[in-house]
Amino acid sequence: MSVINQALPQTAKLSNEEVLRYSRHLIMPEVSMEGQLRLKQAKVLLIGAGGLGSPLALYLAAAGVGKIGIVDFDVVDVTNLQRQVIHSTPDVGRPKLDSAYEHLKSLNPHIDIVTYETRLSSENALELFKDYDMVADGTDNFPTRYLVNDACVLLGKPNIYGSIYRFEGQASVFASEQGPCYRCLYPEPPPPGLVPSCAEGGVLGILPGLIGVIQATEVVKLILRKGNPLIGRLLLLDALEMKFRELKLRKDPNCPMCGPNRTIHALIDYDQFCGIGPEPAPPPGLSEFEIDPVELKKKIDRGDKFFLLDVRELHEVDICKIPGSYLIPLGQVPARVSELNSADDMVVYCRSGQRSGKAVDFLKKAGFRKIKNLKGGILAWADKVDPSVPKY
Amino acid sequence: MGVKVVIPTPLRQYAGKNDSVIVEGSTVDEIMRNLMSRYGELQKHLYTEDGKLRSFVNIYRNDEDIRYLDREKTPVKETDVVSIVPSIAGGSALETGEHGRAWLQPCRTAQQQGGFSR
């Protein structure tokens, strides 16, 4: 199945240095000189230089993909290094594109790396995508996933898809001219407000490596026109079980994007599509249901009688805690509300103040009035009160 | 005896932390009803208030999407495996969830910040 249609120009040639570099490709019949020249001629756009983007970029650069574009606007954070292997410790604080560019150039000086320091949007996606043969999606949010899909369908370019959660991953190739698109698989994103639990999350650092390398493999196969691409197939990986499963994907005849009676003919507002409205501005100062870490410290030092409730998950307590707190993970608060006394003066905290804010909202509705959320959570506590507390 | 239902990671917290559950039933609908009668919290994550399967959740009988079989009426044998496959958006991030754009709706702040593979 040929997804890229350009003919190989007669003039394309490898230098002697390139011949030596790619010799392990050139001696295998599935690549050979023709395939290596196809790789050299190929142009692949990566959305994101993070967990999936790192292995994608590294392997595609090493393989000799002639032009690699990367869209990102983030800065390297120390918590990225557990999985985003294109960045190193000295890169913390630098734009991800800078460290990715340097790393890739030093890996393979024979290829073009083009960086786009911008947030992918409905305004710029078509313009960014049009010069590339295919797009590999390494984003981490629903609006961008639908945007990448729709732009790829509109331009007729394959979208090499990968997605991860904890130790589970999905991969596929959405090439709407040959098979289904992302909307055929999932017509709509989850609505806001169905957050199972904010404490859920995390990712095994190796997992984006596994899924990103599957994406890179699919990119290379499409360029080489070899093998059987993941078109019309959804690959599921459970890394804990180390089991791969494959599900059939079908082109949805009613797909609003790629079906015969499509209703979407241009890019839309993807935040709105995903139900994300503009964020209301936080009220200035502290509300009556908030407490500052410094104020909490004074309260403790004064020996005030109050109840300190930690709504994080059990495994987070192993990382750090504020002494004297009582643990009820947010998801269990409704069922365990009887363990709490609404007459008590109460302070609730979590990591950053978001989950505890939800707990406070819930408990207020349940009749608790003497309750405050620790603003900024244990992170702010570490910043303002106790620097020996590790941040995570 | 019954049919094996594979529970995806994001939903395991609502299904007694099981990665799969054996449930009685001869159609997908019966199996899902029996599953949710055992784990009530799953209901709102899988079905809308008017009882429709949510459009970001797919159910498979073996490797076939039930949308292309007989939907919830799809017959199921004991040798079949039923899989629930929700959409996940993660690219790397998810951190401790507060920053996460994990499964289902990520938290608003992280969403507003935008960004790739945080």
Distance, CA of A61 to CA of A215 (rounded, Å) = 14
Q: What is the CATH number of the domain that holds B62?
A: 3.10.20.30
User: Does some domain include residue B47?
Assistant: yes
Query: For B59, which residue in chain A has the nearest alpha carbon?
Result: A247
Q: In what order do the strands lie in the sheet with A134-137?
A: A112-116, A67-71, A43-47, A134-137, A159-165, A168-174, A233-238, A243-248
Chain A residue numbers with beta carbons less than 8 Å from the beta carbon of B56 are 186, 188-190
> In this complex, which of A145, A164, A170 lies closest to B92 when CB atoms are compared?
A164
Residue-level pLDDT at B118: 35
Q: Which residues contact B60 (CB under 8 A, 6 or more apart)?
A: A247, B66, B82, B83, B85
Active site residue A184: no
On the 0-12 / 13-18 / 19+ scale of CB atoms within 10 A, A230 is buried
Burial class of residue A362, CB neighbours in 10 A (0-12, 13-18, 19+): middle
Residue range(s) defining the domain that contains residue B82: 3-86
For the four alpha carbons of A42, A43, A49 and A53, in that order, the dihedral sign comes to negative
Closest by CA position to A152, among listed A85, A52, A222: A222
**Min CA distance, B24 vs chain A (Å)?**
23
For residue range B83-92, what is the model confidence (pLDDT) as tens digits?
A: 999 998 876 4
In a domain, residue B48? The reply is: yes
Q: Which one of A181, A184, A274, A350 is the catalytic residue?
A: A350
Backbone angles phi, psi at A279, to 5 degrees: -75, 130
Query: Is the residue at B106 inside a domain?
Result: no
For residue B115, tell me if it sits in a domain. no
Spatial neighbors of A172 by CB under 8 A, at least 6 apart, are A161, A185, A230, A231, A233, A234, A235, A249
pTM: 0.86
> Rounded CA gap, A336 and A331, in Å?
10
Measured N-to-C along each axis, helices A32-41 and A207-224 cross at an angle, to the nearest 10 degrees, of: 110
Q: Are A192 and B58 inside 8 Å of each other by CB?
A: no
- Using an 8 Å CB-CB cutoff, list chain A residues near B93: 50-51, 140, 203
Interface touch A166/B100, C-beta < 8 Å:
no
pLDDT of residue A283: 62
Report how many Cβ contacts below 8 Å link chain A to chain B.
Answer: 219
* Distance from C-alpha of A170 to C-alpha of A166, rounded to nearest angstrom: 12
Q: What is the nearest CA distance from B69 to chain A, expressed in angstroms?
A: 11
**Residue B53 included in any domain:** yes
Measure in Å the smallest separation between the Cα of A145 and chain B Cα atoms. Answer: 7
Say whether B92 and A193 touch across the interface (CB within 8 A). no
Looking at the domain assignment, is residue B64 inside a domain?
yes
The reply to whether B51 falls in a domain is yes
Minimal Cβ distance to A138: which of B19, B102, B116: B116
CA of A198: which chain B residue's CA is closest? B97
Beta bridge partners of A290: A373
A350 token code pair: 């979590």
- Minimal Cα distance from A211: which residue of B? B91
Task: Specify the pLDDT at position B85.
Answer: 95
> Is B104 in Cβ contact with A202 (below 8 Å)?
no
Q: Beta strand A243-248 with A233-238: parallel, antiparallel or unpaired?
A: antiparallel
Asked whether residue B52 is domain-assigned, the answer is: yes
Name the closest residue on chain B to residue A72, using Cα atoms: B116
Contact A335, A350 (CB under 8 A): no
Nearest residue in A to B98, CA atom: A198
pLDDT tens digits in sequence order for chain A, 392 residues long? 456 666 777 677 999 999 999 999 999 999 999 999 999 999 999 999 999 999 999 999 999 999 999 999 999 999 999 999 999 999 999 999 999 999 999 999 999 999 999 999 999 999 999 999 999 999 988 999 999 999 999 999 999 999 998 899 999 999 988 999 999 999 998 876 554 444 457 889 999 999 999 999 999 999 999 999 999 999 999 999 999 999 999 999 999 999 999 999 999 999 999 888 776 666 666 788 999 999 999 999 999 999 999 999 999 999 999 999 999 999 899 999 999 999 999 999 999 999 999 999 999 999 999 999 999 999 999 999 999 999 99
Cβ <8 Å between B93 and A200: no
Of B10, B65, B94, the CB nearest to A203: B94
Contact A350 B98 (CB under 8 A): yes
Token representation of residue A162? 């990968």
Domains of chain B: total: 1
Residue with tokens 């190739």: A173
Among A49, A145, A352, select the one facing B98 at the smallest CB separation: A352
Residue B30 C-alpha, separation from nearest chain A C-alpha, in angstroms: 22
CB contact under 8 A, A202 and B85: no
User: What is the three-class DSSP state of A285?
Assistant: coil
Core vs surface per residue A146-175: b (16+ CB within 10 A) or e: bbbbbbbbbeebbbbbbbbbbbbbbbbbbb
Quickly state the pLDDT bin for B63 (edges 50, 70, 90): very high
CA A281 and chain centroid, separation: 25
Q: Which entry of A184, A198, A258, A320 is annotated as an active-site residue?
A: A198
User: For B6-12, what is the mean pLDDT?
Assistant: 91
Mutation for testing the A interface, residue in B11, B96, B107, B118 having most A CBs under 10 Å: B96
A350 is catalytic: yes
- pLDDT at position A202 is 82
